[in-house]
Chains A and B, each alone.
Chain A
């Protein structure tokens, strides 16, 4: 599954510089890319269903990793080519082995539920990619899992992989009516304790989730791939006036107000740099902060007279703080 991150790519925090080791065509429009560490070191392990953010050109996209996440000599993603998409899939498709890319560390936003008695995986099209990861991990740990895979004839990515991996545990559907029939049956026969995971186009996910709700599945058993929720977006650049000296400090996109103040020689107390501890609070004299912290209460946020400068930014050009 793919999702477009910000149109202008943010600087990747703590990124990995990897080399493209292999390119394989899965279908006429889907291509797999395998990345390795240039020095041959192992890459960080990851939670099944994780994604990485890949930079190509001035675009950054999130792609699901397809391995189990345990032994990580390499990262493999599969990319559907979208010619007029906002992301970088077309640019990626042009890369050849040997290319060097900046890749984020894996981020987890679609994890398997550890207490599940059974994992029911449901994928359509390129949505197969996180399911491959889930299925591989379940197989390695000896957990129970099965896969329902819908794809258009001739466009099923990773068919060989999933057939070999799943055997009996795979059901393939190549048209809508057979998929809906199979879905109905599957939703009614899962042992108590099953969790359902779905990935595919939005309409497909909506169909599956509402059919599950009708069949009496409670929301906490239903999981769909949400991209980008784990990342704090880099924010717009702004500048801030320091009330006591009148000095103006510029805060670029991707840099926190706290960092910008430090860089310009101002000492602000801090601990977590995550918006939770409360140390970095600054009084606001003018302007409207864009509150992104977990520390201030809703009432304090509405009052707009303080700001947690490690994560929060400004909604307008006229922010002035008491410093």
Chain B
């Protein structure tokens, strides 16, 4: 029996959404109802829809700086206005319920009041009137949660990625993908089409009823806890993938990157709200949980080449597996 060294566990390890159910990993339509607590070898996660952690302030500052630098990370096709308001009136009450000490939302008709002590924010606004918010509505809701946000419209028997604020993308570009069908968005992913995973996911999502909430996890790896690994900035972070292989600090620099993705049918617009919350933990931190250490090592060693290539981890995954399994 592997035991966990409680004392060396970081708080983020205790809440980390460790995604592997087995020693090997394949794609599947891995959706489950949300929220729902999942115990792990280090603690557990998932009892809240929106998770606020100690990185809240710094991640939101980073998002704001990215959006100032590169406005293509936020996009909204003209018909998505009601869906954005729907997102605001769905998420703020959830936050207020889950974090009552620091957040408060009240509404009377279209008039809303929102207080967020973590950001020193206290505002009144009117649903449908963008001028009553401190910034454009989509950017506003993106400034209250650490999650990246995508909104999908449903029409012509398909889902369309028609709006979003995505500053922490794992190797894709919202600016390029906006306006695509769900199936087109997933065009570059290997295996999932032959295995009907994406068509099945789309059918499932199109049948979601208002208010229903599901979630799934996805994972990859990132060098140095860098949140912004978008296609836009690939020339900046691409070199790290090679550099890290021979770095004696590999275990501190390489992070398992897990996205907790929520899938929510918005009640009035009928759009699908897709939230992507990124969590990262270094191999060094993982090694404090022997069960995780071994499982991640085996997953990385076994992962088929096409999946590793697609995730962009081919250069270093065997070095990582060796460190995890050998030490």
A residues engaging B (CB < 8 A)? Answer: 44-47, 50, 69-71, 105-108, 111, 113-115, 140-141, 220, 230, 271-274, 276-278, 294-295, 297
Contact = CB atoms under 8 A, between A and B. Distances in A.
Contact of B29 (A106, A276, A297): A276
Contacts of B154: 111
A46 B209 CA distance: 10
Given A108-B210, A277-B28, 4 more contacts: A71-B109, A114-B82, A114-B83, A272-B33
Interface string B7-36: 000000000000000000000111111000
Contacts of A50: 210
A113 B201 CA distance: 21
A140 B77 CA distance: 20
Nearest to B83: A114
A107 B79 contact: no
Given A113-B155, A230-B209, A70 B29 contact: no
14 contacts: A46-B268, A70-B110, A70-B268, A105-B211, A108-B209, A114-B83, A141-B128, A272-B31, A274-B204, A274-B214, A276-B31, A276-B204, A277-B28, A294-B200
B322 interface: no
A108 B214 contact: no
Nearest to B268: A45
Contacts of A71: 109-110
A271 B209 contact: no
A-B CB proximity, top 10 nearest: A47-B270, A114-B79, A45-B267, A276-B204, A271-B32, A45-B268, A272-B31, A276-B29, A115-B79, A111-B270
Interface of A is mostly: loop
A199 B112 CA distance: 35
A105 B209 contact: yes
B28 A278 contact: yes
A294 B204 contact: yes
A294 B214 CA distance: 16
Interface string B226-269: 00000000000000000000000000000000000000000111
B29 A115 contact: no
Nearest to A112: B270
B140 to A, nearest CB: 19
Contacts, number: 91
B80 to A, nearest CB: 7
A134 to B, nearest CB: 12
Contacts of B207: 230
B153 interface: yes
A70 B153 CA distance: 18
A114 B210 contact: no
B196 interface: yes
Contacts of B211: 44, 105
A75 to B, nearest CB: 13
B218 interface: no
A46 to B, nearest CB: 6
Contact of A114 (B31, B200, B269): B269
Interface string B100-141: 000000000110000000000000000110000000000000
Contact of B33 (A107, A141, A273): A273
A69 B79 contact: no
Contacts of A220: 155-157
Given A47-B269, A271-B32, A115 B153 contact: yes
Interface in B63-100: 77, 79-83, 86, 89
Interface centre among A47, A50, A114 (most CB of B within 10 A): A114
A50 B269 CA distance: 11
Contacts of A111: 154, 270
A141 B82 contact: yes
Contacts of A45: 86, 89, 210, 267-268
A115 B269 CA distance: 12
B216 to A, nearest CB: 9
Contacts of A44: 210-211, 267
A220 B211 CA distance: 26
A117 to B, nearest CB: 10
Contact of B267 (A46, A113, A295): A46
A277 B29 CA distance: 5
Given A114-B153, A114-B269, A106 B210 contact: yes
A295 B200 contact: yes
B5 interface: no
A115 B155 contact: yes
Contacts of A113: 155
A276 B209 contact: no
A47 B33 contact: no
B241 to A, nearest CB: 32
